[in-house]
C-alpha cells in the first residue's frame, strides 16, 4: 500500500508552505536578532536559516560558496558539535554563508526555495520514487522530501523558540513532519532508553499533536494499536516537549513538572531522559 504521507503533490505543497513559514519568522529581524543563539549548539538564528539554504542548494546541485578571504578559516570538523560527515557538510555551508548580513541571507533563501519549488513541480512520479541518498540512507526521493519537511519543521520550531514567539506546531505540516519523527521512536526506546523485551510503553501526548502512542517491545519495538495487558509504563507529556526531547533541544530534567509517569517509574524516567535521536 502506498504511504499517503509521501504523496508527491501533498508533500511538495507542504514543503513550500514550510519554507514560507521560515521566511515569515525571520522577515523583520534586525541583525542582533539574526545572531541570537538557538538551542542547537554553536548555531544562531542566522545559522539555522543558512543550514536550510545549504541543503536546498545542494539538492539543486550547487556547491558551497568560496571561503571569504577576510575571515579566519575554520576547520569545521574540529568543532565540538560536529560529530559526523553530514554535520561537516552542514557546517561548511553555514560557515561560508555566515559573513553576509541576515537580510541578504533571506534574499538567498527565498531565491533558493523558489527554484526548489519549480524543481519539485517539474518532477514526475518515476523521479519521485527513484532511490536517492539521504541522511537516513538510500530511500525513495519522496521519502527524502518527508525528511526535508521534518528537518525544516524542526528548524521552524528552533527559530520560534530562539525568538520567543509561538507558531502553530500541528496542522498539515506538523502532522507530516511528526510522521517522520515518529518512525525513529520505537528504535530509540530500546537502543537508548533500554526498554527490555516484553515492555509495553504508552506515550499520552497532549497539545498540538495530541495522540496516544503504544509501543510493544517483542524482539524488536514497534507501534501497535493496543495492548493485551496493561502498559508497563505510561508517560504523559505535551507533544511540544516530546518533539524537543527527541530533537535533543532540551532535557527531561528541565521539564519534570510537565511529565507524568505511571507504572514502571524507573523505566519511564530512563526513556524520557534518552529520547534524543536527532540534533
Low-confidence ranges of the chain (pLDDT < 50): 1
Q: Return left, alpha or beta for 263; rule: phi > 0 is left, psi -120 to 50 is alpha, else beta.
A: left
Q: How confident is the model at residue 127, as a pLDDT?
A: 96
Q: Which domains does the chain have, with CATH numbers?
A: 8-167 (1.20.120.450), 184-273 (3.30.1050.10)
Distance CA 147, CA 153 (A): 10
CB 267 within 8 A of CB 195: yes
Cα dihedral sign, 117-108-153-130: positive
Q: How far apart are the first and last CA of the chain?
A: 31
In angstroms, rounded to a whole number, what is the distance separating the alpha carbons of residues 102 and 209? 32
Residues 147-190 have pLDDT tens digits of: 999 999 999 999 999 999 999 999 999 999 999 999 999 999 99
Q: Tell me, what's the pLDDT at 1?
A: 46
Looking at residue 234, what is its pLDDT?
98
**Which residues are registered as beta bridge partners of 263?**
233
Q: Angle CA(89)–CA(117)–CA(279) in degrees, nearest 5?
A: 35
pLDDT at 67: 76
Amino acid at each position: 500500500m502506498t504511504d499517503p504521507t509521501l504523496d508527491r503533490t501533498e508533500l511538495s505543497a507542504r514543503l513550500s508552505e514550510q519554507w514560507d513559514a521560515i521566511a515569515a519568522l525571520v522577515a523583520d529581524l534586525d541583525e542582533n536578532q539574526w545572531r541570537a543563539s538557538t538551542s542547537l549548539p554553536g548555531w544562531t538564528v542566522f545559522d539555522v536559516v543558512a543550514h536550510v539554504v545549504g541543503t536546498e542548494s545542494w539538492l539543486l546541485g550547487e556547491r558551497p560558496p568560496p571561503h571569504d578571504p577576510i575571515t579566519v578559516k575554520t576547520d569545521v570538523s574540529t568543532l565540538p558539535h560536529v560529530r559526523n560527515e553530514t554535520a561537516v557538510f552542514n557546517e561548511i555551508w553555514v560557515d561560508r554563508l555566515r559573513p553576509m548580513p541576515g537580510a541578504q541571507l533571506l534574499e538567498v533563501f527565498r531565491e533558493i526555495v523558489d527554484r526548489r519549488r519549480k524543481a519539485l513541480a517539474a518532477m514526475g512520479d518515476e523521479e519521485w520514487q527513484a532511490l536517492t541518498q539521504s541522511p537516513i540512507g538510500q530511500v525513495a526521493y519522496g521519502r527524502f522530501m518527508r525528511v526535508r519537511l521534518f528537518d525544516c519543521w524542526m528548524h521552524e520550531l528552533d527559530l520560534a523558540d530562539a525568538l520567543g514567539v509561538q507558531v502553530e506546531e500541528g496542522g498539515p505540516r506538523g502532522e507530516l513532519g511528526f510522521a517522520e519523527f515518529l518512525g525513529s521512536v520505537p528504535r530509540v526506546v530500546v537502543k537508548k532508553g533500554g526498554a527490555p523485551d516484553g515492555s509495553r510503553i504508552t506515550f499520552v501526548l497532549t497539545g498540538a499533536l495530541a495522540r496516544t502512542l503504544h509501543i510493544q517491545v517483542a524482539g524488536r519495538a514497534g507501534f501497535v494499536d493496543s495492548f493485551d495487558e496493561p502498559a508497563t509504563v505510561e508517560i504523559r507529556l505535551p507533544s511540544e516537549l516530546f518533539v524537543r526531547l527527541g530533537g535533543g533541544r532540551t532535557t527531561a530534567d528541565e521539564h519534570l513538572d510537565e511529565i507524568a509517569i505511571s507504572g514502571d517509574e524507573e523505566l519511564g524516567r530512563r526513556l524520557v531522559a534518552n529520547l534524543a535521536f536527532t540534533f
